[in-house]
């Protein structure tokens, strides 16, 4: 395994512009272009193309176009996941979404972050790489449980886990993990009630 790729998946600081990573992103772009070329009315064809794009898909799923994906192979979906239009998956680490979870339009799943200290964000210049400088990234996985509802425009940040059956309100920014069966809203997201209080 490429050492920089290993560091990325391990949540260690790594060069986000590494040639190996850029090649994986280019492969994802090719697979996504194949998916985008299939009519939205050809559900069976789109499901097949999604299986080629995603790292794992346990059953039929739907992502309504347009959407953005970085690697694709780090997306792991259960069965019957529905993602509405405009989703962004910055999947430099695993984004796992459980079965029967619904995601509203323009939601963002962001696994990548950078060091807080400005001195740590750039590595030394390297002239023989596709990008002649080194941006230091840190990637942390995102896990969404089964039967969740992620509202329109919600942003799920690196390292977050959301428990089964939880509802994330529209526009919420989830910076910390949430337990099962709660409703969370706001920026940063805070729990306001149980789903059973509805």
Q: Which domain holds residue 63?
A: 3-197
pLDDT at 132: 65
pLDDT per residue as tens digits for the range 18-77: 889 999 999 999 999 999 999 988 989 999 999 999 999 999 999 999 999 999 999 999
CA dihedral of 61, 64, 65, 69, whole degrees rounded to 10 = -50
Instruction: Look at residue 19 in the predicted model and tell me its pLDDT.
Output: 86
CATH of the domain at 60: 2.160.10.10
**How many domains is the chain partitioned into structurally?**
1
Distance of CA 142 to CAs 94, 115, 155, Å? 6, 18, 11
Residue 111 confidence (pLDDT): 98
On average, the pLDDT of the chain sits at: 94
> What is the rounded average pLDDT of the residues 85-110?
98
Query: In the prediction, which pLDDT does 70 show?
Result: 97
> pTM for this one?
0.94
Q: How far apart are CA 187 and CA 171, in angstroms?
A: 8
128-150 average pLDDT score: 88
Catalytic residue list = 114
User: pLDDT value at position 141?
Assistant: 98
In terms of DSSP bridges, do strands 190-194 and 182-185 run parallel, antiparallel, or are they unpaired?
antiparallel
């Amino acid at each position: 395994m490429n050492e920089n790729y290993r560091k990325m998946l391990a949540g260690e600081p790594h060069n986000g512009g590494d040639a190996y990573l850029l090649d994986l992103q280019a492969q994802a772009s090719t697979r996504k272009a194949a998916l985008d070329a299939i009519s939205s009315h050809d559900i069976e064809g789109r499901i097949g193309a999604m299986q080629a794009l995603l790292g794992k898909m346990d059953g039929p799923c739907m992502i309504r176009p347009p959407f953005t994906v970085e690697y694709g192979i780090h997306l792991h979906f259960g069965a019957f996941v529905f993602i509405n239009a405009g989703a962004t998956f910055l999947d430099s680490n695993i984004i796992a979404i459980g079965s029967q979870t619904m995601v509203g339009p323009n939601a963002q799943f962001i696994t990548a972050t950078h060091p807080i200290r400005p001195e740590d964000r750039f590595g030394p210049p390297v002239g023989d790489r596709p990008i002649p400088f080194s941006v230091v990234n840190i990637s942390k996985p995102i896990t969404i449980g089964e039967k969740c509802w992620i509202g329109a425009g919600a942003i799920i940040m690196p390292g977050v886990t959301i428990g089964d059956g939880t509802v994330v309100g529209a526009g919420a920014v989830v910076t910390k993990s949430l337990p099962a069966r709660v409703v969370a809203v706001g920026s940063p997201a805070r729990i306001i009630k149980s789903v059973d209080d509805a």
